[in-house]
Structure formats: structure tokens, C-alpha cells
């Protein structure tokens, strides 16, 4: 226990190295080799800055997000809308999902050194959790909607469009996204990173962010080749973190 308290970075290195090696024993790879290396770096960073509580949040996102990606995979694959590499995440997926969370975690560590009494430490912890609530909401909405959405329509025109179309939404996917955001928030509540109201604010922020991403996807994403899905994920999680922080500035947490 003394090691965990006094040397969190060392614990992070050892723990993530063990998990890195153990991932090769899984029957199906959740990450590519390069993705595993980048996930190792992310895991070390999170444990070193936010400890086991922050680590529990990112692990929940990774495990549930990977599971949801495989739901109805054969159906999505037949329609040509399944994730590439059978859902295995590469470096671009790791950082597209977690770049904002990593910045929040680094900000928490920096504030703890230079201004430990600053309220921004709590705000950035909230932003960290909200970014993963947003990304899990997005993943659940997209994957469940593509697999089981009975009516998929454009968020702009409200006209029916094929599943997998940028900016497409469905009732089933929207509900799954809300459940994902709340579940991620409840994990953060269970480990002591959020209050009950914080869960509510994160769920609201995730809903706002995923709606904004759908609008951007339907209107401008196809116009710019550089606006990749991974960059859209960064924008999405940034909006989620920013909205949650903005809410808690004016409302109780």
C-alpha cells in the first residue's frame, strides 16, 4: 500500500505492463499491437495522476465500449458499417477517445502541485469523467443504433437515412447512449470521483455533446477530409467535458 501511495507512477507502469502481457492471452484482441502500446501509456498516465479511481473509470469505458462494438457485429459487418479490424482499437482510437481525458488528468496533477486549493482540480476531475461519459454514450448510441435501430433518420432533415450515415440517429441508439453515459457516471460515483448530482450533469453534458457531434457529422464532416472520425471524437469529448464544467460553475455539484 505504501508503494501505491508514494510511487503511483511505478505502480502504473507495473500494472499496465502486466495487463499488456496478459492481453495476448485473450481469444480476441481488443487492441492492435500499436494500440496496446498507446493504451499502456494512457493507463500509466491515468494511474500516475488520478490513481485507481481514475483508472477504474477508463477501464470501464474500454471494456464496455469494446463489448458494445461487438454487439450485432455480424449484422453490421454484412451491412458494411462495422468497425474496422473486427473492432480492435488502434492508437488513433485510443487517443481519439481519451486525449481530452488525458489533458484533464494532467491538469489535475499540475494543479495539485502549483495550486492545491484551486477549485479547478475538482472541475478537471469532472471534465475527465464527463469526457468518458460522452465517449461511451457516443459508442453505445452508434453501435446499438447501427445494429438494432429500426428507424434511422438524419438529425438535420429528420428524413430516413441508412444506418451508419454520418449524423444519423435512432430511438434505440439514443436510449443506449443515455444508458451508457449514466452507467459511466455511476462508476465514477462508486469510486468517489462524482457526487450524485455530478452524474446528472455528466449525463446532460454527454447528451449535448453527442447531439452536437451528430449535427457536425451531418453538416460539415464530409466536406473536409481532415475531419476524421477520430478528430470528431476529440471534439465530441471536449464538448462533453466543457459543458459539464460550465454547468457546475453555475449549479451545485
> Would you kindly state where each structural domain of the chain is located, as residue ranges?
52-250
What does the pLDDT read at residue 193?
97
What does the pLDDT read at residue 83?
61
- Cα–Cα separations (whole angstroms), residue 193 to 21, 132, 136, 146, 227: 29, 13, 17, 32, 32
Within the chain, residue ranges assigned H as helices are 2-6, 8-22, 33-70, 73-78, 91-114, 120-148, 171-190, 196-219, 229-250
Give the alpha-carbon dihedral of 176, 182, 187, 191, to 10 degrees: 170
- Cα–Cα separations (whole angstroms), residue 152 to 44, 170, 180: 40, 5, 19
Whole-model pTM: value is 0.91
Give the pLDDT means over successive 10-residue stretches in the chain (253 positions).
65 93 72 91 97 97 91 68 67 95 98 93 97 97 86 87 82 95 98 96 97 92 88 97 96 70
Distance CA(199)–CA(188), nearest Å, equals 8
What does the pLDDT read at residue 76?
63
Amino acid at each position: 500500500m505504501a508503494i501505491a501511495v508514494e510511487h503511483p507512477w511505478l505502480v502504473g507502469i507495473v500494472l499496465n505492463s502486466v495487463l499488456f502481457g496478459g492481453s495476448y492471452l485473450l481469444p480476441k484482441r481488443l487492441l492492435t499491437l500499436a494500440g496496446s502500446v498507446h493504451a499502456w501509456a494512457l493507463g500509466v498516465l491515468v494511474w500516475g495522476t488520478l490513481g485507481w479511481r481514475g483508472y477504474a473509470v477508463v477501464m470501464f469505458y474500454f471494456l464496455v465500449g469494446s463489448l458494445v462494438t461487438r454487439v450485432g457485429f455480424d449484422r453490421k459487418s454484412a451491412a458494411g458499417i462495422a468497425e474496422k479490424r473486427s473492432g480492435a482499437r488502434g492508437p488513433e482510437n485510443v487517443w481519439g477517445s481519451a486525449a481530452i481525458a488525458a489533458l484533464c488528468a494532467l491538469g489535475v496533477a499540475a494543479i495539485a502541485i502549483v495550486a492545491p486549493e484551486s477549485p479547478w482540480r475538482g472541475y478537471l476531475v469532472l471534465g475527465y469523467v464527463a469526457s468518458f461519459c460522452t465517449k461511451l454514450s457516443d459508442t453505445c448510441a452508434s453501435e446499438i443504433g447501427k445494429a438494432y435501430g429500426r428507424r434511422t433518420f438524419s438529425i438535420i432533415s429528420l428524413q430516413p437515412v441508412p444506418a451508419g450515415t454520418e449524423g444519423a440517429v435512432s430511438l434505440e441508439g439514443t436510449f443506449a447512449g443515455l444508458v451508457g453515459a449514466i452507467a459511466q457516471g455511476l462508476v465514477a460515483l462508486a469510486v468517489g470521483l462524482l457526487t450524485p448530482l455530478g452524474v446528472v450533469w455528466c449525463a446532460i453534458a454527454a447528451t449535448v455533446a453527442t447531439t452536437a457531434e451528430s449535427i457536425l457529422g451531418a453538416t460539415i464532416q464530409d466536406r473536409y477530409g481532415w475531419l476524421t472520425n477520430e478528430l470528431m471524437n476529440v471534439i465530441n469529448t471536449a464538448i462533453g467535458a466543457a459543458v459539464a464544467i460550465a454547468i457546475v460553475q453555475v449549479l451545485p455539484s
